[in-house]
Amino acid sequence: MNTLFTIVIPCTSLDSSLYALLRSIDADVKLLTSVVVVYDSPVDSSYLSTRFEFSSLAVSILTLNKNAGASVARNLGAVRATTPWIAFFDSDDLWLRGRYQAIMHSVETHPAPLIVTAFYRIYAHLPFIRFCHLPSSRNIYLSNSFGGASSVIVRKAEFLSIGGFTPGFSSCQDWDFFLRFIRLYPYSLLREPSFIYYQNQSSLTKKLYNVYNGRKALYLTHRSSFSSRVRLHHLVYLQMLRIARSRKGLLSLFLFAPTKRFLREYPLSSLLFLLRNR
């Protein structure tokens, strides 16, 4: 059977988590998948290749001359892929056994060029609990209800046609990609969890500065296609992030006129945000 898809993994360090991910892929898909690891830093690729040798998994190593970010690394891996489909993974994720069969079944039964999979989220302070994230198209313009880049299995032709992931976003690259893609192409959602995402203090979603800048870039990029309600939601959320990031207190948050309307319309969302970023 010919290789159907390539797994692209951007990374910035050679640690045990990357090796654990490659082992988990190797145990499930065998010879049916190729892997491209894009090392987002200058390093001798021959050294890298000696670190990751598998008997049944073809691993290619690409390196960037400078730290250019995950979007550039993923795009480079996608361009180099020689298969019709591409899957993306972060180096600290873990592939669940059976993911390959689920993807194959979805490709055969749902010919949409984008497949978004469910996943388990594990927090560093609660390692014994798995929180299941189910992708949903509901309110995709209000929040990233699809998931992250690791949820993506996409056909290479359509991925390249929209320019892949947008470089320069400090966060929300995956959300930006989803919004651009679904305007042009259909998609399908897999509700069976197929990988594990570990979130710790170093995770990008915990760095408010990056989250704020990424969210702002997303709003400026897509606001022309947002309804007035969606624009209001994003403006207030940005104000909330600004306050949480500056730690100057919540008074100015409530003095911000659109916030009053937002708090009336979305009291639960507002409360959860303030508790999460207190």
d(CA 174, CA 163): 13
Given 203, 218, 249, which residue is the final one in a domain?
203
- 76 and 149 share one domain: yes
Helices (H), the chain: 16-29, 45-51, 70-80, 99-109, 156-161, 173-182, 208-222, 228-246, 251-255, 257-265, 267-276
The answer as to whether 215 is a domain residue is no
Question: Quick one: which of 119, 72, 67, 73 has its CA closest to 94?
Answer: 119
The answer as to whether 66 is a domain residue is yes
Q: Mind listing the pLDDT tens digit for each residue in 114-163?
A: 999 999 888 777 777 788 888 888 889 988 889 888 888 999 999 999 99
- Angle formed by the axes of helices 267-276 and 257-265, nearest 10°: 110
Given 152, 171, 203, which residue is the final one in a domain?
203
E strand or H helix at 3: none
- 238 and 120 share one domain: no
Q: Mind listing the pLDDT tens digit for each residue in 64-83?
A: 777 778 899 999 999 999 88
* pLDDT band for position 253 (cuts 50, 70, 90): very low
DSSP reduced 3-state for 182 = helix
The answer as to whether 211 is a domain residue is no
Per-residue pLDDT averaged across 209-218, rounded? 88
- 193 and 255 share one domain: no
- 193 and 116 share one domain: yes
The answer as to whether 210 is a domain residue is no
Q: What is the pLDDT of residue 249?
A: 45
- 79 and 113 share one domain: yes
Per-residue pLDDT averaged across 267-275, rounded? 53
- 103 and 165 share one domain: yes
- 36 and 101 share one domain: yes
d(CA 161, CA 185): 11
The answer as to whether 214 is a domain residue is no
Residue-range definition of the domain harbouring residue 242:
227-276
- 13 and 63 share one domain: yes
CATH number of the domain enclosing 89:
3.90.550.10
Q: What is the pLDDT of residue 254?
A: 47
Q: What is the pLDDT of residue 33?
A: 66
Q: What does the mean pLDDT of the chain come to? A: 78
- 155 and 246 share one domain: no
The answer as to whether 44 is a domain residue is yes
Per-residue pLDDT averaged across 36-42, rounded? 72
Q: Which residue has the higher pLDDT, 118 or 205?
A: 118
Q: What is the pLDDT of residue 178?
A: 96
The answer as to whether 101 is a domain residue is yes
The answer as to whether 219 is a domain residue is no
- 184 and 84 share one domain: yes
Report the domain count for the chain: 2
Whether the per-residue pLDDT at 242 is higher than 80: the answer is no
- 162 and 236 share one domain: no
- 267 and 174 share one domain: no
Q: What angle do CA 129, 91, 21 make, to 5 degrees?
A: 70
Q: What string of H, E and C letters represents the secondary structure of 30-89?
A: HHHEEEEEEECCCCCHHHHHHHCCCCCCEEEEEECCCCCCHHHHHHHHHHHCCCCEEEEC
